[in-house]
Structures are given as C-alpha cells and as structure tokens.
Amino acid sequence: MTVTERNGMLHLLYEIFDGRQIPSPPLEITLSPVSETVFAGAGIGQDWIPVVFSTLADGSVYCYIGMRAAPKIA
C-alpha cells in the first residue's frame, strides 16, 4: 500500500504480491475522507472500500484495508 497526495486528495496504490506467477493488477484509488482517520475509495468497477489509519499504543502508524494492514514507512 502506497498512499500519496495528488491535487489535495489522498491516492492509494494497492499492490498485492502473494507469490502468484501472475500477480493481480494494482488498484489505484482516490480516497475521500469520511472522518479524520477513515477514508473510502473505489477502484474502477469496484465497490467502495474503507481505508483506516490508526496509531498503536507504541506510536506505530498503520493503514488498514480489507483484511490487510501495513505500517507507515518513513
């Protein structure tokens, strides 16, 4: 998951590398804010999906989408 800012909006590039010989194509999604930490986005032909940003007790920041989580990398 790579989140960047484009024209004042958050943009998510969601790539899955799960060992398949032919990987799934990446999803490119513009995220719309729902709250301070929850966003929603839909890829072409996809339903809306929630994207949640959360800070753990130890200060680590994570991005959650579906059943996957990724830590923030500087």
Note the pLDDT of residue 20: 75
In the block, which residue shows the tokens 């790579």? 2
> Smallest Cα–Cα separation from 28: which of 9, 41, 47?
41
**13-17, 54-58, 65-69: which has the highest mean pLDDT?**
54-58
- Is the pTM higher than 0.85? no
> Smallest Cα–Cα separation from 64: which of 50, 47, 74?
50
Q: How far apart are CA 56 and CA 42, in angstroms?
A: 26
What residue spans define the domains of the chain? Answer: 2-71
pLDDT tens by residue, 1-44: 899 999 999 999 988 777 777 877 888 899 999 999 999 998 77
Note the pLDDT of residue 8: 92
Note the pLDDT of residue 10: 93
65 C-beta neighbours (distance < 10 Å), count? 19
Please name the amino acid found at residue 32. S
In the DSSP assignment, the letter for residue 45 is: T
